């Protein structure tokens, strides 16, 4: 069964450093997402991406965050200058080409980011 | 705006007990409703979904019925197993005020099943 894959599974970085989290969405999907989950808390929406541009972003997704689809398969989340509060599990997700309310989004296994 | 409220955990049950995890929602229009499960150390996996009122989603012995009149989507299982121990997230996918579709997740309910 096709799946969303993410790398790295775990990264430890120093405060102020740049981090890039990588994702390979399911191949025929056209909508891509990043969510995050701070330990023990709810899953929070960060950003959605379609047709090579951001379609929606949350208030969490400020200027230190950016997303990119550098080629036909990868979808990346960059955090420019990490803060301690960025420590979280970051989930990439993708969904099918149609934008109906019933569309399921499929999640990767997550990238656990620890900022020290 | 759209929101999801689910019961606080943790929920601790003995094996073979009946499980209910409550979930209610507020939304404009006609959202789709989902339950996701997160096993320890893993990502989010879709457990079941329902796309319209009175639909029943089911998978692996779990069920949930989309109740528009009570705006609820409670998760149930008749006989839980130790392997069901996980965090369960209720979610909705509905239209936002800007006209796009977005997933909203509940806070998650941790289930622990004891042998």
Chain A residues within 8 A of B107 when measuring between CB atoms: 41-42
Q: Cα–chain-centroid distance for residue A12? A: 17
Q: What is the mean pLDDT of residues A73-100?
A: 90
Structure tokens at A70: 């550098």
Q: Is B40 part of the contact surface with chain A (CB cutoff 8 Å)?
A: no
Tell me what pLDDT residue A101 has: 56
Lowest mean pLDDT among A39-53, A75-89, B5-19, B57-71: A39-53
Give the residue, B48 or A99, on which the prediction is more confident: B48
Chain A nearest-CA distance from B5, in A, is 11
* Reported confidence tier of residue A70, pLDDT bands at 50, 70, 90: confident
Locate tokens 């191949």: which residue? A27
Query: A45 and B94 in contact by Cβ < 8 A?
Result: no
Strands A111-115 and A10-13: parallel
Q: Are B76 and B65 in contact (CB under 8 A)?
A: no
Pairing mode, strands A65-68 and A75-79: antiparallel
pLDDT at B21 over 60: yes
Q: Are B74 and B64 in contact (CB under 8 A)?
A: yes
Check whether A99 has a pLDDT greater than 70.
no
- What confidence tens digit (pLDDT) does each residue in B48-83 have? 999 999 999 999 999 999 999 999 999 999 999 999
The residue of chain B nearest to residue A111, with distances taken between CA atoms, is B43
Nearest by CB to residue B100, choosing from A55, A91, A109, is A55
The stretch B28-44 carries a mean pLDDT of: 87
Mean pLDDT of chain B: 92
Taking the C-alpha atoms of residue A70 and residue B43, their distance in angstroms, rounded to an integer, is 24
Nearest to B43 among A101, A103, A108 (CB): A108
Question: Which chain B residues have a beta carbon less than 8 Å from that of A48?
Answer: 100, 102
């Amino acid at each position: 069964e096709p799946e969303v894959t993410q790398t790295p599974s775990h990264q430890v970085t120093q405060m102020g450093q740049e981090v890039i989290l990588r994702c390979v969405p399911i191949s025929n999907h056209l909508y891509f997402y990043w969510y995050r989950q701070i330990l023990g808390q709810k899953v929070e929406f960060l950003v959605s991406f379609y047709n090579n541009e951001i379609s929606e972003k949350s208030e969490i997704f400020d200027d230190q965050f950016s997303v990119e689809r550098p080629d036909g398969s990868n979808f990346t989340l960059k955090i420019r200058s990490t803060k301690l509060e960025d420590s979280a599990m970051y989930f990439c997700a993708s969904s099918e080409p149609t934008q109906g309310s019933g569309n399921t989004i499929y999640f990767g296994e997550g990238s656990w980011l620890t900022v020290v | 705006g759209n929101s999801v409220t689910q019961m606080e955990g943790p929920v601790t049950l003995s094996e073979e007990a009946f499980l209910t995890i409550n979930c209610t929602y507020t939304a404009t229009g006609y959202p789709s409703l989902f339950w996701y499960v997160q096993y320890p150390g893993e990502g989010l996996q879709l457990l079941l979904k329902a796309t319209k009122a009175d639909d029943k989603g089911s998978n692996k012995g779990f069920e949930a019925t989309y109740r528009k009149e009570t705006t609820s989507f409670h998760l149930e299982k008749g006989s839980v197993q130790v392997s069901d121990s996980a965090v369960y997230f209720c979610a909705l996918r509905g239209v936002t005020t800007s006209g796009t579709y977005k997933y909203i997740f509940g806070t998650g309910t941790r289930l622990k099943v004891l042998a």
